[in-house]
Amino acid sequence: MRTIAFATQKGGSGKSTLASSIAVAAHEAGERVFILDMDPQQSLMKWAKARGDVSVPVEAILPGKINAVMNSLAKSGVTLCVIDTAGTESTATAAAMKAADLCIIPARPNAFDLWASDVTRRALREMRKDYVFLLNQCPPAQQNARISEGVEMLEKMGGLISPLIGARVDYQEAAGSGLGVTELNPGGPAAEEIRKLWSSIKRRLAKGKPATATRKAA
């Protein structure tokens, strides 16, 4: 079983949104996926309730239980564990980061998110954990300068995983309906970029090598 955790000390950067859509895309690609919701706000527990099926199960757990839960998930044949965390420093977030093979740090292309990314990166470096940045909610192509700045800053800080994720209504609609974007609108651009993102994450998990982001706006 491989484990990815979405983490950054910043609310609203898209952790829960991306975790749910990635979990669904990985499920569609043949993984046996299980989501651990470690955010007290329990966004993904609510998502699961709206979803109403068990194809991508979600469970809320306390940090002290994480090792036991992950052992039993691995034994039961789960191949991918996706952990969603709160946008604050907490015991639960630290436990999730420690448990993950790869931490994904989403950031919007703005100064506050990028600064918060650096705080998370430092914490992960101290823990000697593997991490990648992910640029989310990128504005349409005409605002390219801001995206380029974000790409440059994150590249300087470490690996930036591709592709860049656009700001798209599909992400909001899918999350609210208990779906992934690949289910909501399988032929749409959000679905396409999430499938690509899953491929990049999978490659990274397999080889431990970052996929390079392109500068093309989403």
Residue 71 vs 214, nearer CB to ligand ADP:
214
- Name which of Mg ion, ligand ADP, none residue 93 binds, using a CB cut-off of 5 to 8 Å depending on partner kind: none
Query: Shortest gap between Cβ of 127 and ligand ADP (angstroms)?
Result: 20
- Residues lying near Mg ion in the complex (CB under 5 A) are found at 15-16, 43
Which among 30-38, 61-69, 149-157, 171-179 is the span making contact with ligand ADP, rule CB under 6 A? Answer: 171-179
- Name which of Mg ion, ligand ADP, none residue 159 binds, using a CB cut-off of 5 to 8 Å depending on partner kind: none
195 near ligand ADP, judged by CB under 6 A: no
Size of the site for ligand ADP (CB under 6 A): 17
Write out the binding residues for ligand ADP, residues 9-28 only, by CB under 6 A: 11-17
The DSSP annotation for the chain comes to -EEEEE--S-TTSSHHHHHHHHHHHHHHTT--EEEEE--TT-HHHHHHHHH-SSSS-EEE--GGGHHHHHHHHHHTT--EEEEE--SS--HHHHHHHHH-SEEEEEE-SSHHHHHHHHHHHHHHHHTT--EEEEE-SBPPGGGHHHHHHHHHHHHHHS-B-SSPPB--HHHHHHHHTT--HHHH-TTSHHHHHHHHHHHHHHHHHHH--PPPPP----
Among 48, 73, 87, 100, binds ligand ADP (CB under 6 A): 87
What residues line the site for ligand ADP (CB under 6 A)?
11-17, 43, 87, 136-137, 165, 167-168, 171-172, 175
